Chain A
Amino acid sequence: MFKQLLVALDLTEMDDYLLRYVLFLAKKFDTERLYFIHNIKSYDLPDSIDTILMEIGKPLEQLVLEEMNEKVERIFSDSGVKINTIVKQSDSTAHTLTKIASELGVDSIVLGKKNAFKGTGIQVNKILRLTEKSVLLIPDYAHYSISKIIVPVDFSKHSELVINIASDISKKENDDLVPIHVYQLPRWFFPYVPEEKANKSLLESAKKSYQKIVNGTNINVDCQFLSGQGKGIARTIYDYATRNQADFIVIGLKGRNQVTGLQLGSVAAKVSQMEWHVPVLLVR
């Protein structure tokens, strides 16, 4: 998952947090190669900027590249990881990122997620929809540690892949792996049937499904079963993660109801938009 990464920088202070987190990741998972990319948006820049550019005599791309190199050097100089910095200029960052990720053949795309500024949120969703790679979302103020990994599972085919990936991640330094499953009575459930009974049988069948998934793998942790009644699945996951001091989440990009490849599951979409301080790995 983390051997070759494409990291998107946005030239704000967020980059420093992101870079330090990526450093931590690189050390933990022996990352081989890192690509840092920034896409200059083709807006008209104000005249004041043009004037300065003329003074310096260098094109904007070069300045950006220099700045990026400086930042990256400062943090990664002794890391032993091969570094490349890339600057592009296009209308759509999402499309450029997706294309480059594909061309370079990286394992995952790493994005910073600013909780405050909504502008970032729109882009994230677009990238999630376009790319065929997994995406790691790092919020500002994330802890530089991975000790408790939460994996929401919905027992779809994709779930099997997701939980195995999470398990591999946890095995690197023997971190806690906590699979969780949120069950909910369907919203149109007839109000006259006792809820308790229905919940109980939902729970039973969920437990069986979990057994089926972990059968034959080397995963031997129990799954936590949570009721999502009233809150919704994404919210339940969020609350559980915060209450149990999880510091990493692995979730499938596809939902149980996705038919074809490149669509975004509803829970994944909500989870990626929520404002929280835990990194989320969305597995394609």
Chain B
Amino acid sequence: MNNKTNKYFDIYAPVFYPASIIIILFIALTLIIGKPMEQVFSSIQAGITTNAGWFFVLAVNIFFAFAIYFAVSKTGRIRLGGKDAEPEFSTFGWFSMLFSAGLGIGLLFYGVGEPMYHFSDPVLTDGMTKTEAARTAMKFTFLHYGLHAWAVYAVLGLALAFFTFNKKLPLTLRSVFYPLLGDRIYGTIGDIIDVIAVVATLFGLATTLGLGVQQVGAGLKYLFDIPNTTVTHVILIALITSAATVSVVLGLDKGVRVLSELNMRLAIVFLVAMLILGPTIFLLDSFVQNTGLYFQEMIGLGAWTETYNMIDGKFTHWQNDWTIFYWAWWIAWSPFVAMFIARVSKGRTVREFFLGVILVPSLLTFLWMSVFGGSAMFLELQGTAEISSAVRENISTALFVMLDEYPLASLTSFIGIVLVTSFFVTSSDSGSLVIDSITAGGKLDAPVGQRIFWATTEGAVAATLLLGGGLKALQTASVLSGLPFAVILIVMCFSLLKGLNEEVEEMEKAEKVKERRAYQDVIKDLVEKRKDKF
């Protein structure tokens, strides 16, 4: 690959320029057009989710099916990095890295908000008792953060890991299409794939950052009474992005790695603290029950498309704002999570990989949702506090409204804000790393100038979306870029299938050949020896 290099940039032009142009155009258009963009975003989101919702649901199920297949069939034996590769990290270390991939702004933002929102949602819980409603709320929350979600990351993650470690191709999206396209991956079609990947990742990341900053805003209002407006949000984005950028420039990159370890620990402490401060027994009970119910209904839930639901004689479109959005969001930013997972999984077999990546973070997420969502549910069911109505008004405040009802509220809220901020920083940093790598043609250590460019661009896109239409705009960005990327991912599954099957064949053939040859030599020697004695 021919890169244009100077001190600050190491660009692979056919990917870098189209991606940057698309994004800059987008930012410019949104800012120039102004207010009417809100309506535009709304219509786009509704249009795609209503008409292609079934496609997203189908896609996610396809990924799930592939994941199971790869894990249980002979391909499960393939080791990432070759058959002599040894796992880079101990099992415990690997699990904790997978945990850290699962923790993020999404959990913090929707951990309390989502179950409570669903609890009082007419589409989901119309006519249900409080008990039923609570169960349903947790069920749907688990669906969005559970095995289906992780299957998306796992499949892409495996593809990246396999083609990079086993086939020695560059660590970028186009490499996973080698079995289908051969050397054409180095041509235009490969460029297109990478461009779509960059745009999708960027929008997915921007969605995450946008939500994160909204939550920080809500927290600051709660703790320090700073006005929670879009202006605040934009300022926060600028501040936090610069902080992250400065750390990169100063080579404090290591600092961000340390930070991400720290914020994982802090998150666990937060989780345990909530477990203790909250209604502990209720929470533990709920974890067990929610998980069981989820596994029982997982298949039907995963394929539900709201086909027959009606209210007042009209078909409902609840899924558009929730399930479909989630699937699109996860698909859009899957390169981000998948690259991280791929990097840390060298030496694992395909089977271990899927079991670990799909089950481990899911279980942690289930615990998190049970603890945070459960704490709010407890209050709501007992009538102690009206969390669901507060959440309906402004979902980003949910966490703080809930924490307020439990001891040490100021401390826990402060920890919450610190956590979201630090996740923002690490997500922004890691995200820009991933985008760098793709726009540099798969290189793993991009120069500083480029990192700054992408980190700033992410922040800019997030800010633009917030200005252009708030939460709706954020969701639209993911949905819009998620759609084409979903198609790419489905094709990728087939490419991966081919690649893995070929590898299995090679492995088996090589083993047999070795054995056979050695044995034939033995017999030959024996026979010749006997002949001489004859």
Interface of A with B (CB < 8 Å)?
10-12, 40-41, 43, 45-46, 48-49, 52-53, 55-56, 60, 63-64, 66-67, 117-119, 122, 187-188
Contacts and interface: CB of A to CB of B under 8 A. Distances in A.
A40 B523 CA distance: 9
A56 B524 contact: no
Contacts of A188: 92, 95
A11 B530 CA distance: 13
11 contacts: A49-B524, A49-B527, A53-B527, A56-B527, A56-B530, A64-B526, A67-B526, A119-B515, A119-B518, A187-B92, A188-B95
Given A63-B526, A188-B92, A46 B520 contact: yes
B78 to A, nearest CB: 16
Interface string B503-523: 000000001001110111011
A236 to B, nearest CB: 15
B515 A63 contact: no
B531 A52 contact: yes
Nearest to B515: A119
Contacts of B92: 187-188
B314 interface: no
A117 B515 CA distance: 10
Contacts of B95: 188
Given A41-B519, A43-B519, A187-B92, A11 B526 contact: yes
Dominant SS among interface residues on chain A: helix
Dominant SS among interface residues on chain B: helix
A118 B514 CA distance: 10
B532 to A, nearest CB: 10
Contact of A67 (B519, B524, B529, B534): B529
A56 B520 contact: no
B526 to A, nearest CB: 5
Interface of B: 90-92, 95, 511, 514-516, 518-520, 522-524, 526-531, 534
A118 B528 CA distance: 26
Nearest to A11: B522
A67 B514 CA distance: 24
A67 to B, nearest CB: 5
Given A43-B516, A117-B518, A122-B511, A63 B91 contact: no
Contacts of B516: 41, 43
A63 B527 contact: yes
B277 to A, nearest CB: 17
**Chain A CB within 10 Å — which of B95, B514, B518, B527 has the most?**
B527
B531 A43 contact: no
A119 B514 contact: yes
A66 B530 contact: yes
Contacts of A55: 531
**4 interchain residue pairs of minimum CB distance:** A187-B92, A63-B530, A119-B515, A11-B522
A211 B91 CA distance: 32
A117 B514 CA distance: 10
Contacts of A52: 527-528, 531
A41 B519 CA distance: 8
Contacts of B514: 118-119
A12 B522 contact: yes
B447 to A, nearest CB: 36
A11 B534 contact: no
A45 B523 contact: yes
A48 B528 CA distance: 10
Nearest to B521: A12
B530 A67 contact: yes
Contact of B520 (A43, A63, A118, A122): A43
Given A11-B522, A11-B523, 7 more contacts: A10-B522, A41-B519, A46-B520, A46-B524, A56-B531, A67-B529, A187-B91
Given A119-B515, A122-B511, A188-B92, A45 B520 contact: yes
Contacts of A45: 520, 523
Contacts of A10: 522
A178 B271 CA distance: 46
A101 B519 CA distance: 23
Given A55-B531, A67-B529, A188-B92, A49 B523 contact: yes
Contacts of A56: 527, 530-531, 534
